[in-house]
Structure formats: structure tokens, C-alpha cells
């Protein structure tokens, strides 16, 4: 996604005062960008356009394709699996958003003046994010195990009857969504910690002198001044969760007989199945295209809504 580096605006203006651009410089410029430009064109731009075109085509078994209008989209819309996967994906998205308040709260706590062990905490919180998602999925699947899982053992201490968390259609999605949150906390924590650090300390101090307690300072100063960062994280988080795949694949999919299969599939796992298990490339292309539209639409909606709650000073 697009990032903001503070340098861009400044040097954009400085650039225009250079008249020197000989033919040789031009050639060097093209030569320097050629490797990436060719690679991006071949592997990204052309494929993106191809997907657009091929979502309106039927793919031949051995290559080749014929135009078939909106047939692929009709197939997708007629499929119960698609609507189920769409609803599931939205559910993952909503659960996934919980990472923002959690990370924000932890970041606020980590920024307490004079707190010891900040770097230790930060390291520990960040580890799940760098851990191979496949490995995290396996560990959590084991913790969630219905018979020998540690979670049920722990709940048993309080007399709570556990379940087969990732095989029970009622709990699988929530259980996987929770792991998704767990893996992402460290990432947003780092962004929020940096964001809070950037808030001018004189504002904080003035509020403290005025007698505002730390909870109140958090609510009335930190959060409002941090809304641009929160907005940015929310956009990134929505885009990432809409593409959830690894954890579902590891925790549910590889067990074809899992009763919670349909209750936990996302659009991307459905895409993978359609394209590479059922080998129905036309329908899969339409699915991918719809996902891209969904991502673009939800991002656009967020950009619209930001005017109501994001404060830029």
C-alpha cells in the first residue's frame, strides 16, 4: 500500500529547477528502470489486465479461452459457497478489527513515562508477527484441540466445558479470527507506539498540569491526535484480513472432513479451491476480480468516512 514519508512533499518542489536532461541521461534513466519495469509489466500489470479480461472468458482445459460474457460471475453469484465465504470473510474482517483497540491500549501502556522493560515487552509482542503463519496455525490448532488441547484443560479449571474449537461450525471462525488478531497485534503496536511518540509532549504536559488523569488524557488527547494513524491502520487491516488464507488453510482446510469447513472458508480459500483443486479457472478469476472490487470498495468507503472522525491538525 501507499506510504507516507515526510520527505516527499519537500523534494517534489526542489526537483523542478533542473534543466539538464541530455539524451544520455534519458538513456541511463531508461536503463536503470528497465529491469523492474519489465518485470512488473510482465508479472503484475499484464496479469492484472489479463485477469480482468479472462474473468469474462471460459478457460480451455489445455490453454486457450473463449469469451463468455458474465457467465463466470453468474456462476459465482449462484454458488452458495460464495455467499457463505463472503459472509465469513466479513466476519473475519470484523473480528480482525479488534486488533486495533487492543494494540492501541497496549501502546498507550507501553508509553507510560518511566516504564521499565519496554523493549522486552515490545519484542515479546512482536514475535507472533514474524512467526511463520503456518507454524502459528499449527500451534493454535493444537492448543484448540478438543480432547488434548491446553485451552480446554485450562477452561476445565473453571468448570467450563470446552469444545472442538476448529471442528465445531459454531466456533471455528471465531477461533481462527482470534489467532489472526494474535498474530497482528505486534505490527499495529509498533505503528501506534511510533504514533504516540510523535504527539507533541507539550500538549500532554499541559493537560497533565490541568489535572487530567491518564485515562482522560488517553481519551481526550492521545486518541484524537492519533486518529490519522488509526485510520491508516484500519485501512491496512481491512485489506489484509479480506485476504485471509494461511491460517484457515492450515487449521481447517487440510482436513477435508472437517465439519466446520464451510463455516470457516474465506473468499481466498474458496478461490484457491476453485482454481487449483476444482481446476475451474474461469470462475476463480471472477472470484479474484470480485475480491479486488470488494477491497477497493471498502477502502473507498473508509476514505469517505474518515472525514467524520479523523482529525488532522
Partner 1 sequence: MTDATTNPAPTRRRGTARGTRLGGVATHLVLVLGAVLMAFPFVWQLLTALKSQAEAMTVPVRLLPQEWLWENVARVFEVLPFAEQLGVSTVVAIARTVGQLALCSLAAYAFARLEFRGRELIFALFLSVLMVPSQLLILPQYQIIVSLGLLNTVGALILPGLFSAFGTFLLRQFFLGLPREMEEAALLDGASRWRIYWNIMLPLVKPALAALAVITLMNSWNDLLWPLVVNTDPTVMPISAGLTTLQGQFSTDYPVLMAGSLLASLPMLVVFILLQRQFVQGIALSGSK
Using CB under 8 A, which residues numbered 241 to 270 contact partner 1?
Answer: 242-243, 245-246, 249-250, 254-255, 268
Long-range CB contacts (< 8 A, 24+ apart) of 251-258? 251/137, 251/140, 251/141, 251/144, 251/166, 251/172, 251/175, 251/176, 251/179, 252/166, 252/172, 252/176, 255/167, 258/166, 258/167, 258/172
98 three-class SS: coil
127 three-class SS: helix
Cα–Cα nearest to 102, from 184, 172, 29: 184
Cell of 62: 489445455
| Choices 81-89, 160-168, 276-284, 303-311; region in contact with partner 1 by CB under 8 A | 276-284
Q: DSSP character for 61?
A: B
Q: Does 71 bind partner 1 (CB under 8 A)?
A: no
Q: Does 291 bind partner 1 (CB under 8 A)?
A: yes
- For partner 1, the binding residue among 73, 82, 140, 231 (CB under 8 A) is 140
Q: Does 208 bind partner 1 (CB under 8 A)?
A: yes
Q: Does 68 bind partner 1 (CB under 8 A)?
A: no
| Choices 42-50, 72-80, 159-167, 220-228; region in contact with partner 1 by CB under 8 A | 42-50
Residue among 26 and 220 whose Cβ is closer to partner 1: 26
Distance separating alpha carbons of residues 270 and 243, to the nearest angstrom:
11
- For partner 1, the binding residue among 90, 91, 155, 236 (CB under 8 A) is 236
Measured at the CA of 258, the angle between CA 295 and CA 279, to 5 degrees, comes to 55
- For partner 1, the binding residue among 67, 77, 142, 309 (CB under 8 A) is 142
| Choices 50-58, 91-99, 160-168, 301-309; region in contact with partner 1 by CB under 8 A | 50-58
Evaluate the CA torsion angle 99, 249, 160, 147 in order and state its sign: negative
Encoded one letter per residue, x for contact with partner 1 by CB under 8 A and - for no contact, window 81-110 reads: -------------------------x--xx
| Choices 70-78, 87-95, 158-166, 180-188; region in contact with partner 1 by CB under 8 A | 180-188
Amino acid at each position: 500500500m501507499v506510504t507516507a514519508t515526510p520527505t516527499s512533499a519537500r523534494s517534489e518542489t526542489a526537483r523542478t529547477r533542473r534543466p539538464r536532461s541530455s539524451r544520455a541521461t534519458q538513456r541511463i534513466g531508461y536503463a536503470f528502470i528497465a529491469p523492474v519495469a519489465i518485470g512488473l509489466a510482465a508479472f503484475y500489470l499484464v496479469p492484472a489486465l489479463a485477469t480482468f479480461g479472462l474473468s469474462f472468458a471460459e478457460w480451455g482445459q489445455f490453454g486457450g479461452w473463449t469469451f463468455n460474457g458474465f457467465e463466470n460471475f453468474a456462476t459465482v453469484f449462484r454458488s452458495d459457497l460464495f455467499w457463505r465465504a463472503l459472509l465469513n470473510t466479513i466476519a473475519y474482517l470484523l473480528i480482525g478489527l479488534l486488533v486495533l483497540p487492543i494494540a492501541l491500549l497496549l501502546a498507550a501502556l507501553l508509553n507510560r513515562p518511566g516504564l521499565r522493560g519496554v523493549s522486552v515487552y515490545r519484542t515479546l509482542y512482536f514475535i507472533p508477527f514474524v512467526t511463520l503463519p503456518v507454524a502459528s496455525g499449527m500451534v493454535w490448532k493444537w492448543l484448540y484441540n478438543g480432547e488434548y488441547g491446553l485451552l480446554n484443560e485450562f477452561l476445565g479449571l473453571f468448570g467450563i466445558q470446552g469444545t472442538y474449537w476448529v471442528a465445531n461450525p459454531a466456533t471455528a471462525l471465531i477461533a481462527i479470527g482470534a489467532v489472526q488478531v494474535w498474530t497482528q497485534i505486534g505490527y499495529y503496536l509498533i505503528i501506534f507506539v511510533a504514533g504516540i511518540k510523535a504527539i507533541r509532549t507539550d500538549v500532554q504536559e499541559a493537560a497533565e498540569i490541568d489535572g487530567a488523569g491518564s485515562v482522560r488524557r488517553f481519551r481526550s488527547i492521545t486518541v484524537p491526535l492519533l486518529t490519522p494513524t488509526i485510520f491508516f491502520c484500519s485501512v491496512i487491516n481491512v485489506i489484509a484480513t479480506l485476504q485471509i488464507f494461511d491460517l484457515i488453510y492450515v487449521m481447517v482446510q487440510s482436513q477435508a472432513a472437517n465439519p466446520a469447513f464451510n463455516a470457516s472458508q474465506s473468499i481466498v480459500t474458496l478461490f484457491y479451491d476453485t482454481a487449483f483443486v476444482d481446476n475451474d479457472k474461469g470462475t476463480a478469476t471472477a472470484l479474484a476480480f470480485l475480491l479486488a472490487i470488494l477491497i477497493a470498495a471498502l477502502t473507498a468507503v473508509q476514505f469517505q468516512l474518515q472525514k467524520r472522525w479523523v482529525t488532522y491538525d
